[in-house]
A and B are shown apart, each in its own frame.
Chain A
Amino acid sequence: MWFRAFLDPPARAAPWVAYSSIAAMPVIAGRPGLLSLPALMVGVPLAVTGLALGLARMVWVINKTSLTDGGPALPDPGALNSGPMRTRWFNLYGYDRRLFLLLLALIVELGLLGGHDAPREAGLWLWCVGVYLVGAANYTRTSPSEPVRTGETPNA
């Protein structure tokens, strides 16, 4: 199940799991109290798994697009911000915004609640696990929401 989920093309949230995990790492690293056993057991796997999920999704989008349009298997970094490549990479963006907001809240939480107070730290790491579970569940199970259909010919 998990292996399949890792390769699962319809993943939606993985990029945000990855980006937010990366964004959270400096906060984690900047707090000595968090470089503890719980941090190693929960925080690092959280970030690494999120990164892996994000990369899996990223590689899939690029390969899928490349397979169908005959384009390069990997993007030219210099072209990422222009023209068609921007469109291709922009595909990585438009997914589950609810999860994005949750992860944004995680980062804020890390900033505001972090410290050396044990109950607070426990709460913080519970929050991390919760967010990871939401991300993983979203990655493996959630179908994308129906596209917004407007106008007289919503599919055309």
Chain B
Amino acid sequence: MLEVHQFACLSDNYGYLLHDPASGETACIDTPDAEAYLREAGHKGWQITQIWNTHWHPDHAGGNAAIKAATGCTVIASAAEAERTAAVDRFVAPGEIVALGDFEALVIDVGGHTMGHIAYHLPEACLAFVGDSLFALGCGRMFEGTAEQFWATLARLKTLPAETLLYCAHEYTASNARFAVHADPDNAELAAYAARVAALRSEGKPTVPTTLARELKANPFLRADDPDLQARWGHPGNAVATFAAMRAAKDSF
């Protein structure tokens, strides 16, 4: 049984350590803060053996070199971002498999936030590390990709099993919820979700991980193919245009 240790780091990032007790292997999912990762692994008594990067941004790969120097671990990152990610030992492309002990993770193309962004889906454990591609009630800012590309990413994520636990890289849910309610005000599931988020955040508790099932009902970006939402945003029958309109609105919300 895989264990996920989640902890806050930097201003609003989540760090994740993925541990397989059977093999003793531990993977850092991204490396926003090397010191925090090494400290948390030490507290857990886990030996870091791998780093799995989702994309090149420094708040995701900035700690690669320091953790690798401290542990000798293997660093895995997106082949499409080879020139922009430091200290990498193995570049992977969508469709490839990375392993932690006997557990396998499928690399998925989730480009849009960055062009070569990847996610790691572990079907056996029913979880996915999605980096900055998808957030609870939101999605990543479209820094490098296009709306078509980003919508294709979201459509791809929507095909994962609904019970999949989604580990996003930032605690943005309260802010995302405000936009989501603005974008989709008649969604009762969303209203209830937003209320739960407000309660959790008022207690200082994380809202991540979320589940795909929950997001499918409430996340407006995943629902850009919903006819009601398309009509509301003025693009009936056009999911890409609906997504693009919402993404542009969120950028300045």
Residues of A at the B interface (CB closer than 8 Å) are: 8-10, 64-65, 68-71, 84, 87-88, 91, 143-144, 146-147, 152-156
Interface contact B138-A153, CB-CB below 8 Å: yes
CB neighbours (8 Å) of A64 from chain B are: 80, 111, 115
Interface contact A156-B250, CB-CB below 8 Å: yes
Task: Please give the distance in Å from B115's CB to the nearest CB on chain A.
Answer: 6
Residues of B at the A interface (CB closer than 8 Å) are: 12, 57-59, 80-84, 109, 111, 113, 115-116, 132, 135, 138-141, 143-149, 151-153, 169-170, 172, 175-176, 240, 250
With most chain A CB atoms within 10 A of its CB, the pick from B83, B139, B144, B176 is B83
A147 vs B144: C-alpha distance when bound (angstroms): 9
CB neighbours (8 Å) of B12 from chain A are: 153
Task: Please give the distance in Å from A68's CB to the nearest CB on chain B.
Answer: 5
A69 vs B116: C-alpha distance when bound (angstroms): 13
Interface contact B83-A69, CB-CB below 8 Å: no
A156 vs B171: C-alpha distance when bound (angstroms): 10
CB neighbours (8 Å) of A10 from chain B are: 81, 83-84
The 7 A-B residue pairs with the shortest CB-CB distance in the complex, in nearest-first order? A69-B148, A153-B172, A147-B143, A156-B172, A10-B83, A69-B152, A153-B175
Known: A68-B111, A88-B146. 12 other contacts (CB 8 A): A65-B146, A68-B152, A69-B148, A70-B152, A84-B148, A88-B148, A147-B143, A152-B172, A153-B138, A153-B175, A155-B169, A156-B176
A128 vs B146: C-alpha distance when bound (angstroms): 35
A147 vs B114: C-alpha distance when bound (angstroms): 10
Interface contact A155-B115, CB-CB below 8 Å: no
Task: Please give the distance in Å from B138's CB to the nearest CB on chain A.
Answer: 5
Interface contact A68-B141, CB-CB below 8 Å: no
A152 vs B12: C-alpha distance when bound (angstroms): 10
CB neighbours (8 Å) of B145 from chain A are: 65, 68
Task: Please give the distance in Å from A108's CB to the nearest CB on chain B.
Answer: 31
Per a CB cutoff under 8 Å, which of B83, B141, B250 touches A143? B83
Contacts A84-B147, A91-B146, A143-B83 given; does A156 touch B140 at CB 8 Å = yes
Interface contact A155-B132, CB-CB below 8 Å: yes
